[in-house]
Every structure is written in structure tokens, then in C-alpha cells.
Amino acid sequence: MKKTLFLVPILLFVLFLQAQTPNLLLKPFDTPFGVPPFQQIDNEHFLPAFEAGIRENNAEIESIINNPAPANFENTIVAYDRSGEMLGRVSPIFGGLRGANTNKRLQEIARETTPLLTEHYNNIRFNQQLFNRIKAVYDQRNSLKLNAEQLLLVEKIYDDFARNGAALPQQQRDELKELNQKMSMLSLKLGENLLAENNNFKLVLDNEADLAGLPEAVVSAAADEAKKAGMEGKWVFTLSKPSWIPFLQFSERRDLREKLYTAYIQRGDNDNETDNKAPFLELIELRQKMAQLLGYKNFAEYFISDQMAETPENVYAFLYKVWEPSIQRAKTERDEQQAIIDKNGGSFKLASWDWWYYSEIVRKEKFDLNEDEIKPYFSIENVRKGSFLLATKLFGITFEKRFDIPVYHPEAEAFEVFDKDKTHLGILYIDPHPRASKRGGAWCGTYRNGSYDENGKKIYPVVTMVMNFTPSVGEQPALLSWDETRTYFHEFGHALHNLFADGHYNRTSRSVPRDFVELPSQIMENWAGEPELLKEYAFHYLTGEVIPVALVEKLNKAAMFNQGFENAEYLSAAILDLDWHTLNVNASTDVNAFEKSTLNRIGLIDEIVPRYRTANFGHIHSPGYAAGYYVYRWAGVLDADAFMAFKSSGDLFNQEMAAKFRKYVLAGNAWYEGMDAYVKFRGAEPSIEPFLIRSGLK
């Protein structure tokens, strides 16, 4: 009893201190460039800030609908676009931290705020008085003497409401509200389950003989991982790509390769408390109901109707066109690997967990090239410098590391970005390495989008690149694989898109179809391997020697290596995604049987597993890429054709072409969309030929 009484005043004192701590999320930030004051934000600030943001947003909506003046562009469209400033400040910070540096409390808050926010946005989306005012402006838009950006803003905002059911009868609007609530919670659950599955498995080795074939750097990284896990003297391999991929590439222990790879592909499909099959199936059913309520046959038709591809049929036709040469090439690659197994007296058939190991042997034999030979030239610092240099050569922008800007984790770095006239362009965060608090994969987002305030003052973007790349080991810097190097340039392309966005309104500042958004990212990958750029950033981390011409030639000769596999594993996942969102499913659908049926139909060989299986397909667990995983190859046609324009001009850094690419593709999204933007840049619609040739499929 005495102990309890003693704790009471301490608890009260702690609560008092928390009450005295100002919630910095409630007002604009007093920090360099207005970036989030990460170190001063407490987890407990988020829920009150969301609640305050909802109250503020509700008051703004009330002001719009109660305005006695007839609806016009300024008092309705612009007023709506400017509303929700506090939520627009808080949500990206919360979402960014949940993805890159989450913890148990943030996950709990997400479960509290997700239904709260879904209800709030439902109330706005289905507010008939608000929709009537928006529709009134939309109906007279062509007589209002609006400029191109203003006209696009009116159309985008109207479509946001109409496509989400604002014009439906009350009963159907109520059904959609309920569906939206359920879908948001299911997406949250699927993401949390996948993070748990990623973190729950470790391959722990304590016998040095089990490390046979592994390069020293891979062994050292596994020893570091073991040390961090409190198992010093052992070796730990995880389900992060920098860990499991090199193990599969080099380990001579076939049984251990199988164990690690099986754990990776089985994520979310282990019939445990974090199994994703049931919640995914429920989510698919709800999406199907939502699409049908909105007048579409299925969710894919709903989603794709607003994209460049226009219809699921167009997407299927495109994917199958690439699928046929891809699977044929993959079969050839399989046979080459099986021949090596047979030659060496192996009495087994190539399996999916063998592919990385034997393809590495084939690459060594065919091109005299392996990852260990490449990596020393691609320290993460060199790759960062290379991407920065590319942006300078193309667009004249420069980067300066800042030590006075708050960061959310010690591994994250902050850079100020300057335009070619040396004026401020934005802030870029780079967070490169895996950790338990970070979800898998690589992505680019914003803590603040670029736009303009109501007085015409520029609001500069705060952009973040988040990756899960090979970390440093001891005194050795982080050395990236070629795939990681290309991914770095890829995410940097997204960052440039965010930095250059120049629209005057929130809704249209960077408004592009999902199957266009990968063009700015993927085109940057093309420059990464060009000798003209490599000689300026690829230096050996020990000797400072520039990457030898002979090694560059090997790298380029091997560019089409394993393309059958890479395309087949990607395309099978994209087709699986499309099948889930076009075919009828119900509560009795067997998730794994459905998946197997798709893969059998398209003829995927047993030796290849889709890049993502249904239960761990994070892209489609949330709405962003649902029925849209195809976009990477669709945009691949655009980026291959666009890069060909630079290449065929005779100048990889053609200034006239770079200026047009910035103007129409990167910065002009508020004026030009999708194919219109591309044609403005290129002068014609893209040809698929450069893509097929680059992929070794023609």
C-alpha cells in the first residue's frame, strides 16, 4: 500500500509535465524551412492534433456550405482546396513515421485514428450541400474564363466526389461510408501483420560451416545483425532484402537457402495470428461491392477508368504482350541453370530457392561478372553523389547537407536543395538502411507538398526517400548491389518529381495518373549505368580508382541478364493483382487456390514464384496500387522511349530536352496530365520497341 501511495504523486507529476508540453502539431512549425520538429513531437501529440484538425476542417466546410453567395471558383473550389490545413500538416508526419520509424504506441494510435479520419472524410465526401456547390461550379466551368490549371482543379475536385459516390442516393451513400470504414481498418491490419511477419523470422547460424560460399561482407553483416539481437558470436539472416538475397546468391547450403526463402514467400500465409489471407479476402469482397455500388463491373474497372490505360482489357493485353517473350526467356534461363546442376552431378531439379544461386554462376560464366566485383565502386555515398550529380547535369540543381534540420532517426540525413538560380527549392530527407521499426521496400513521400498559399507565396516541399539497403559493416561503408544502386536512382526520380511540382493548388500540384507516376522515377535508372555518368561517381571505396572501362562493359553486356526471371516474377504478380480485382470472389474463396489458378493459367514455371504472393502483396493491401501494380511496366514503355530521346540526341544531358522534361513531365502536372504531358515533351506517343529491346525481349 505504501508503495502504491508513493507512486501516485510521481504519476500525477508526469501527467502534469505532459499537460505542460506544448503540442507543436497544432500550429505551423518554427523550424528551419518549416520542417517537422521531430525530436519535440511526442506520440501523445498525434491524437489531439488529429481531433483538432477535424474540428478545424469541419468549421471550414461549414463556412463553405453556409456562404450565402452563389457558388463560384473562389468561394467553393479554392476554399475547399485550401481547407484541412492542420490535417494536411499532421497526417504526412504520422504516416511517414509509421512507415519509417514506427513503434507500438504509433500502431495503437493508428487503430484509433483510422476510423476517426475515415468517418471524417466520409462526412465531407458525402456532404450533399458541399457537393451541390461543387457541381454548380463544375456545370458552368466552361463559361468561367478559367485558366488550364483552374479548369483542371474544378474537374479533379468534382471527380473526387462523383467517383466516390457523392451523387448516389442516400442509402447507397450510407453503404459506401460503411465499406470505406471497414476497408481502411483492413488495410491497416494487413500492413501491421506484414511488418510483424517480416520481424518475426530470423535464420540463426552458430556453426561456421553453415556459412560456406558466403562473401566476407555478407558474413560480417550477419554477425552485426546477431550482435544487435543479443546473440554475439552467431550469425543472423533476416527477411530484409539486403540479408536474404545475398544469402540465396552465394550460400552453398541448399537446405538453408530453402529455409530462408520459404520464410520470405510464406509471409502472411502461416495460419497464425498475423495471417493475411482472411483479411485480404474480406478487403477484396468490400472493394468489389464498392465498385458495383459506383456502377462499375469490378474494382479494376473502377480504378483503371481514371488511368492512362483506361480499361482492364487494355492492361491485360499489354501484360500478355510482354508475358509471352518473358516466360519463354525464363524457360531458357531455367534450362541453363539446370544444365549446371546436372554437369556438377546434382540429382535434383532446380527450385525457386536455387534461382539466385545458379543464376549468379551463369552470370559469372557468361559475363565474368559477380556482385562482389561491382559493389566496391558503389558505396552508398558514391551513389548518392551520382544521383545528385545527374540532377545537376540535367537541371542545374544542387544539394547541401544540413545539420541544423531536425531528423526523425539518426540514420536519416537532411539536404537543402537549390534550384539552378541558387534559390531554395526544397528539403530532401534520405533514410537508407533497414531496421525493425521500418516497413520493407523503398519509397518516396513528402512531409509537405509543394504549392502556393492564398497570397501567392511559394510553399516549398519537404521530401523523403526511404530505403532498406545494405548497411555498413565495421569500418567498411555500405556497399550497394547494382539492383540497390538502380533503386536509389529510382526513388531519387520520385524525389525530383516532388521537388519540381509547381502547381498553385493542393489538389493539382502533382496530379498524375498512377500509371504515369513511375515515369519520373524509372527514367533516372537509365542514367545510372551509362559510362558517361559512371566515370564521375563510381569510385572504389578503398583505392579511389574510377570503375574500369572493362568492368563497365561487362556491366552493360550483362544488363539483359536474367530478364526472363525479372519480368516473369513481376508480371505474374501484376496479373495476379488484376485477377483479384476483376474476378468474382466470396467468403468461401480459397486464397491460395485462387492464386495457383492464376499462375497455372498464365503458365508460370514452378521454378519462379511471383514477386509478391497474395498474403504479402503490400502494394495492393492498401488502395494506392490495388489493381494498379501493372503500372511499373506500363511506365517502363514511357521511360524507355523518353530515355531513347536523350540517347538519340547524341547528348545524354541534352539541356533543351531536360528543360522540356522538367516543364511538362515533372513540374507541369497542374496543366498537363498523362499522355498529354508526355506528348508535349516527346512530340509523339511512346513506342513499345525501346522497352522490349532494353528488356531483351526482342
Per DSSP, the three-state class of 139 is helix
For residues 191 and 99, is the Cβ–Cβ distance under 8 A?
no
What gap in Å lies between CA 291 and CA 218, rounded to an integer?
Answer: 47
Question: Among 354, 379, 586, which Cα is nearest to 475's?
Answer: 379
Catalytic residue among 371, 491, 569, 595: 491
Per DSSP, the three-state class of 452 is strand
Alpha carbons within 13 angstroms on the beta-carbon side of residue 127 total 18
For residues 636 and 618, is the Cβ–Cβ distance under 8 A?
no
Report the phi/psi class of residue 30: left, alpha or beta, with left for phi > 0 and alpha for psi in -120 to 50. Answer: beta
Report the phi/psi class of residue 203: left, alpha or beta, with left for phi > 0 and alpha for psi in -120 to 50. Answer: beta
Tell me which residue has cell 465499406: 179
Set of cell numbers at residue 431: 533514410
**Residue 543 to residues 382, 393, 440, 683: CA-CA distances in angstroms?**
13, 26, 33, 45
360 catalytic per annotation? no
Count the Cβ atoms, other than its own, within 10 Å of residue 544. Answer: 7
For residues 242 and 469, is the Cβ–Cβ distance under 8 A?
yes
For residues 126 and 134, is the Cβ–Cβ distance under 8 A?
no
Alpha carbons within 13 angstroms on the beta-carbon side of residue 320 total 11
> Residue 87 corresponds to which amino acid?
L
- CB-based contacts of 492-495 (< 8 A; 24+ apart in sequence): 492/387, 492/390, 492/391, 492/465, 492/521, 492/524, 493/520, 493/521, 493/522, 493/523, 493/524, 493/525, 494/443, 494/444, 494/465, 494/520, 494/521, 495/428, 495/444, 495/463, 495/465
Count the Cβ atoms, other than its own, within 10 Å of residue 573. Answer: 24
Per DSSP, the three-state class of 174 is helix
Question: Among 315, 322, 312, 309, which Cα is nearest to 567's?
Answer: 322
Set of cell numbers at residue 617: 502483396
> Residue 270 corresponds to which amino acid?
N
Strand order in the sheet with 413-418: 398-402, 413-418, 424-431, 462-466, 443-448
Residues marked active site are found at 491
